[in-house]
Amino acid sequence: MPPNKRQFLKLLKPAAFGLSAAILALLIFFLIKAVSPFAGFIIQNHLTPSTFVSLLLEREPRLKLSDNRANIIILGISGGKHEGANLTDSIIFLSIDFKKKDAVMVSVPRDIWLPSLKTKINSVYYYGEKKKSGGGFILSKSSISEILGQSSSYVIKLDFSAFEKIIDLLGGIDVDVETGFEDRFYPIPGKENDFCGGDPQFLCRYETVSFSKGLQHMDGDTALKYVRSRFSEDREGTDFSRSRRQHQIVSAIVAKIKSLNSPKYFPLLKNIFEESSKNIETDLNLAEMLSLAKFFYFNPEISIRQVILDTGDDVNKIPGLLINPPLWQYDGIWVLVPRTGDYQEIHQYIACQLEKKDCQINSLKQ
């Protein structure tokens, strides 16, 4: 063998070893950079290696199931110190079949009347908490079961401000505004008790917000106004339209988070999780929350089917499951009740929606 070739081979082995060591060092460096944002979180929450091993190996989240579905009630409150801060103006029933990878989101109108409690559904959490700490969750579960005919194992209560902060952390979301609208009486936070210099209409308490039809990029403040607006003079001023817009925002947030599918986004996801935790109360334990988050994060193909209970559309001859009875029947309170007089038809409709993707109201048994 020529001397030059022998010399080259002698140098090749240490060079290859050095290159391998450098690559290994780089891999370790990037691994540490990816994992380190979670180190404090892991220590703070007393998470053990077995927790993560179990989380990684599980085929589907280990949540409590009812008829093979995990049912979660999501309650949205306005928060703050003003009157009605603990009323749940947004109520969503989320049902997930992990094996079939199917998710259904049902908006429950806040004005639905509960004969058993003689109050509207949006005050149930408030009265439950007034009776005892934790009673809001218990009473909310039983009340939603009364309306929908489905039991729920979990409740998530969140302040609307959580939406705003999370959306800003995400850099905004893209929302397709189906119908443009203008609301000239959107309440300004902190102005609830302003006498407006004697103005009998108290106009200084409000601002005008408007949205044009089409795809829009929204920051947190804009998205919050989009879902909370309720004084447009057209159909967009109804609670049913608000429910539809809430679905849009939730879906847009989920879609944006699922798009962050690279280790470089781990610090951002950690910040989102921590920010959410500040504004959320739930009876899901930490392992269940992480398990649920993992399921949606690693199954980006899942879309959430949307169901809205409403009074129908007279113009387009679309029936609804709810009616608005005369005010005198409920001491002058504006409420919504089942068109048949009880909730059995709604139970049937929701059960149908959970079993298949197309359920026509007219085909339900009267």
- At 34 the pLDDT is 46
Cα–Cα distance measured from residue 192 to residue 185, given in angstroms and rounded to the nearest whole number: 12
How far is it, in rounded angstroms, from Cα 177 to Cα 253?
A: 15
Helices (H), the chain: 3-35, 39-44, 49-57, 124-131, 135-148, 160-169, 220-228, 239-258, 266-278, 286-297, 344-355
190 exposure class (CB count in 10 Å sphere: 0-12, 13-18, 19+): exposed
Choose the weakest-confidence range: 20-24, 67-71, 115-119, 215-219. 20-24
Q: Which residues contact 118 (CB under 8 A, 6 or more apart)?
A: none
Q: H or E segment at 341?
A: none
Each residue's pLDDT tens digit, 286-312? 888 888 888 888 887 888 888 889 888
Provide mean pLDDT across the span 77-81: 67
| Spatial distance between the Cα atoms of 109 and 91, rounded to a whole number of angstroms | 7
Residue 15 has pLDDT above 60, yes or no: no
What dihedral do alpha carbons 45, 50, 52, 54 form, nearest 10°?
A: -130
What band does 32 get if pLDDT is binned at 50, 70 and 90? very low
pLDDT at residue 343, rounded to an integer: 95
Does 74 have pLDDT greater than 90? yes
The pLDDT > 70 percentage for the chain reads: 79
Helix, strand or coil, per DSSP, at residue 333: coil
d(C-alpha 316, C-alpha 311), whole Å: 12
pLDDT of residue 176: 94
- Rounded to an integer, the average pLDDT of 188-196 is 87
Neighbour count for residue 116 (Cβ, 10 Å): 8
How many other CB atoms are found less than 10 A from the CB of residue 156? 19
Give the mean pLDDT of the chain.
Answer: 82
pLDDT in the model for residue 27: 52
- H-helix segments, 259-343: 266-278, 286-297
Question: pTM here?
Answer: 0.79
Ranking 76-80, 176-180, 201-205 by mean pLDDT, the lowest is: 76-80
* pLDDT tens profile 324-363: 999 888 888 999 999 999 999 999 999 999 987 677 776 5
User: Which among 4-13, 31-40, 49-58 has the top mean pLDDT?
Assistant: 49-58
pLDDT value for 315: 60
**Chain segment 116-172, per-residue pLDDT in tens:** 999 999 999 999 999 999 999 999 999 999 999 999 999 999 887 778 889 999 999
